[in-house]
Amino acid sequence: MKRTVELVVVSDFHLGTYGCRADELLLYLDSIQPETLILNGDIIDIWQFSKRYFPKSHLTVLKKLSELITGGTQVIYITGNHDEMLRKFTDFKMGNFSLVNKLVLELDGKKAWIFHGDVFDASIQHSKWLAKLGGWGYDLLIVINSAINWFLLKLGREKYSLSKKIKQSVKNAMKYITDFEDTASELAIENGFDYVICGHIHQPQIRKIQNKNGSTIYLNSGDWVESLSALEYNDKEWKLFLYENMKNEIKEDQTPTSLTDLDIQALINNVISHKTN
């Protein structure tokens, strides 16, 4: 049975890369019925997009999003750095789907400021080629990690995350994450936002940040490469969904949405045919 959720925020699918955990993502999307779904950037990884690699499970995610749109869910796509090419179409709206660069929502009398977060990343703003190189390296690391985990599971051992271990052991990486959270929160406090919601850094989080000027709740939806996480808002309360902690509640034997004879053009036609005025 699907869970009804007022608002869901997800980000960093990185569809089109080897790291994307599309099967788990589909199980999660099939388990919920959100009134509003916010896709907070880096959904399709246009930076690393290749015709040689876009498997059916990734296309099925797009089909599922289309089904949510036509089924009455308001879907808001906020652009990120890996899908920044879509920013030329910002403020596009068709039926229940809209494309924006940032979003302000009122939630039960409180203001939420939602954006991807790459605006704070100097490496992206000033050296995009270096950031893209880092993205390719990250994808390669995920491929290597997948091979290692295959052997570990065969040996009856637990999975191991190379990238998480690297992030945790490198002080500069941890400082970057803290600086990112503090910068976003300081700006939110300065502008009177009760919540600031980001993606980008692949670190799921909900925490209150306070300074001499006030306080805000910082939230990050994480990713669907490693953390497999989402933010859910219901009855004036935010919760952090972690697939690892709740996968038993999402039936593992559940068959994800099928992709029978579906291609890109059919997907586009499906959305257009349900356009509302």
> What was the pLDDT predicted at 266?
53
Q: What is the DSSP letter of 118?
A: G
**Helix pair angle (56-70, 264-273), 10° resolution:** 0
Domain 3-273 in CATH 3.60.21.10: yes
For range 26-41, the mean pLDDT: 97
User: Is residue 92's pLDDT more than 80?
Assistant: yes
Q: Which residue has the higher pLDDT, 245 or 148?
A: 245
Non-local CB neighbours of 208 within 8 Å, separated by 6+ positions: 215, 216, 217, 218
User: Is residue 172's pLDDT more than 60?
Assistant: no
Non-local CB neighbours of 181 within 8 Å, separated by 6+ positions: 205, 207, 209, 218, 220
User: Is residue 194's pLDDT more than 80?
Assistant: yes
> What was the pLDDT predicted at 149?
65
Q: If residue 241 lies in a helix (H) or strand (E), which one and from where to where?
A: strand 237-242
pTM over 0.85: no
Helix locations, 127-233, DSSP H: 128-154, 162-169, 171-190
By CB atoms closer than 10 A (0-12, 13-18, 19+), residue 164 is middle
CA–CA dist 113, 101 (Å, integer): 11
Q: Which residue has the higher pLDDT, 206 or 46?
A: 206
Task: Report the DSSP beta bridge partners of residue 44.
Answer: 15
> What was the pLDDT predicted at 78?
97
Task: Report the DSSP beta bridge partners of residue 102.
Answer: 115
pLDDT band at 150 (very low <50, low <70, confident <90, very high): low
For range 220-248, the mean pLDDT: 94
> What was the pLDDT predicted at 175?
67
Mean pLDDT of the chain, nearest integer? 81
> What was the pLDDT predicted at 199?
95
Which residue type is seen at 257? Answer: T
> What was the pLDDT predicted at 13?
96
Cα dist. 56→46, 59, 61, 66 in Å?
17, 5, 9, 15
> What was the pLDDT predicted at 143?
61
> What was the pLDDT predicted at 133?
40
28-32, 167-171, 177-181, 231-235: least confidently modelled range: 167-171
